[in-house]
Amino acid sequence: MGAIRLQAVVFGTGMIGTAIAVELADSGVFDTVTAVDASAEALQRCRERSGGRVATRVVNLGEPGALESVLKGATVAVAALPHSLSLRVTQAAIASGCHLVDLVGSQYPAKAALGDQAEAAGVLVVPGCGVAPGITNVLAGRGVELLDEAEDVTMLCGGIPEKPLPPLGYQIVFRLESVMGLYTRPATAIVNGETVDLPPLSGLEKCVFPAPIGECEAAISDAHSTAYTLKGKVRNLVEKTVRYPGHFGKMGVLAELGFLSDQPVQLASGTVTPKEVAMAVLEPLMRGGSHRDATVLRVRVKGRRRGVPATLEWEMVDLYDDARQMTSMAKTTAFPAAIVAEWIGSGRIKETGVIPPESLLIGDRFEPFMAELEKRGVHIRSLQ
């Protein structure tokens, strides 16, 4: 018998999916890397960026059986897909016997419920393995692990322009629909030891990051899997999204006036939802102002160690990558997923089931994971 060929599949060839595909092709771990998308043009750009080392396949993933067809025979897949496809690709990976690293962290309880099926299939599913969720989860899990008693976890993260841009001090670097959930959906957190839902746009606080960023603000966003996996280990846990000052106030006015509502309204031209109108107006205003972006992150874990109060804290300010001509958001989101996919493919990770980053990448794997990020130009510094 010949040697087993290791095959990687990357779903989605936007800026993040393309970065993942190129990284996996460069790794030397996989015999083949195939990028999958419904857009032939996006696949062509991915193929060109990889110097032809990434194979491509045009597939409409909404068609019945399409995901399973692509996953058949693959070793590991990485999903850089819309939230609406995340649970479906998880189910397809398990059914196909293919490991999965997913950038999307939403619907964690539904994914966790598939853990027994994943174990039976010999498959590992890693949900929410980007920057946030992803790196933030790992740092939160590590902080809780290092303290004897963990009291409070605060995770701040945001992708922003290098300099504020009008009218909202923000620009879109991926799908606007993904961003809109921040302003409209309740966010999971841990409060007084219980997993709860907090109102969107709540918990506003000021924060300051090193130059060139400076003063920012942060508001509640979904803590994803950490609101479940760290329950019982910490009393309070929140995640907040970072923007430049004034952003959340403006979005809050739109929400208060009903412009972010999904409830249909009747116009002379037909039926629309206010959110559809708001997105149509906002998207061109929030796109294309500058390609130079930044990703900021701060994770703080407070508690006690050896009987005395202790605080563990990490921080990152990552800027547009001139050498790679890559946005910071693409780099910091793609590389964690690529590292985990490489470790699965090389046999360095052998667990099965549904295991999020804060459970998978702590302990003996934490320092090597941080070292791999550092090697790829993602610098996270410990403040303690």
SS3 of residue 126 by DSSP: strand
Give me the pLDDT at residue 1, please: 42
User: Of 290, 308, 327, which marks where a domain is finished?
Assistant: 327
Angle between helix axes 247-256 and 176-184 (nearest 10 degrees) is 70
Q: Please report whether residue 35 resides in a domain.
A: yes
Q: Please report whether residue 356 resides in a domain.
A: yes
222 and 164 together in one domain: yes
Q: Please report whether residue 383 resides in a domain.
A: no
154 and 292 together in one domain: yes
268 and 344 together in one domain: no
CATH code: domain of residue 251: 3.30.360.10
pLDDT of residue 2 exceeding 70, the answer is no
Q: Please report whether residue 1 resides in a domain.
A: no
181 and 267 together in one domain: yes
19 and 91 together in one domain: yes
pLDDT band (50, 70, 90) for residue 339: very high
341 and 284 together in one domain: no
Give me the pLDDT at residue 175, please: 67
Looking at per-residue pLDDT, the higher value among 177 and 133 belongs to 133
Q: Please report whether residue 384 resides in a domain.
A: no
204 and 56 together in one domain: no
pLDDT of residue 208 exceeding 90, the answer is yes
Give me the pLDDT at residue 5, please: 84
Lowest mean pLDDT among 2-16, 24-38, 231-245: 2-16
Quote the mean pLDDT of the chain.
Answer: 95
216 and 72 together in one domain: no
246 and 182 together in one domain: yes
41 and 158 together in one domain: no
Give me the pLDDT at residue 288, please: 72
Q: Is the dihedral of CA 68, 112, 184, 223 positive or negative?
A: negative
Lowest mean pLDDT among 278-287, 337-346, 348-357: 278-287
Tokens at 24, concatenated? 């996996």
Tell me the C-alpha distance between 95 and 219, whole Å.
38
CATH code: domain of residue 111: 3.40.50.720
pLDDT of residue 43 exceeding 90, the answer is yes
pLDDT band (50, 70, 90) for residue 49: very high
109 and 209 together in one domain: no
Q: Average of pLDDT values for 180-191?
A: 93
Buried b (16+ CB within 10 A) or exposed e, 246-267: ebbeebbebbeeebbeeeeeee
291 and 361 together in one domain: no
User: Of 310, 327, 344, which marks where a domain is finished?
Assistant: 327
Tokens at 345, concatenated? 């493919």
| Sequence-ordered alpha helix ranges (H) in 79-206 | 86-96, 108-112, 115-120, 135-146, 176-184
Tokens at 295, concatenated? 């990703």
In Å, how far from its chain's centre is CA 99?
Answer: 18
**How many CB atoms neighbour CB 205 within 10 A?**
13
Q: Shortest CA distance to 380 belongs to which of 370, 368, 369?
A: 370
User: Contact 182/223 with Cβ under 8 angstroms?
Assistant: no
Q: Average of pLDDT values for 206-234?
A: 97
pLDDT, tens only, 141-156: 999 999 999 999 999 9
State which residues form the domain around 349.
7-131+330-378
User: Of 291, 307, 327, which marks where a domain is finished?
Assistant: 327
Q: Please report whether residue 352 resides in a domain.
A: yes
Q: Please report whether residue 160 resides in a domain.
A: yes
pLDDT of residue 311 exceeding 90, the answer is yes
What total of structural domains would you count in the chain?
2
Name the percent of the chain lying above pLDDT 90: 89
Q: Average of pLDDT values for 217-223?
A: 97
Q: Average of pLDDT values for 362-375?
A: 98
Q: pTM for the whole thing?
A: 0.95
User: Contact 318/328 with Cβ under 8 angstroms?
Assistant: yes
pLDDT, tens only, 87-126: 999 999 999 999 999 999 999 999 999 999 999 999 999 9
Q: Shortest CA distance to 140 belongs to which of 154, 157, 125?
A: 154
pLDDT of residue 3 exceeding 60, the answer is no
Q: Please report whether residue 85 resides in a domain.
A: yes
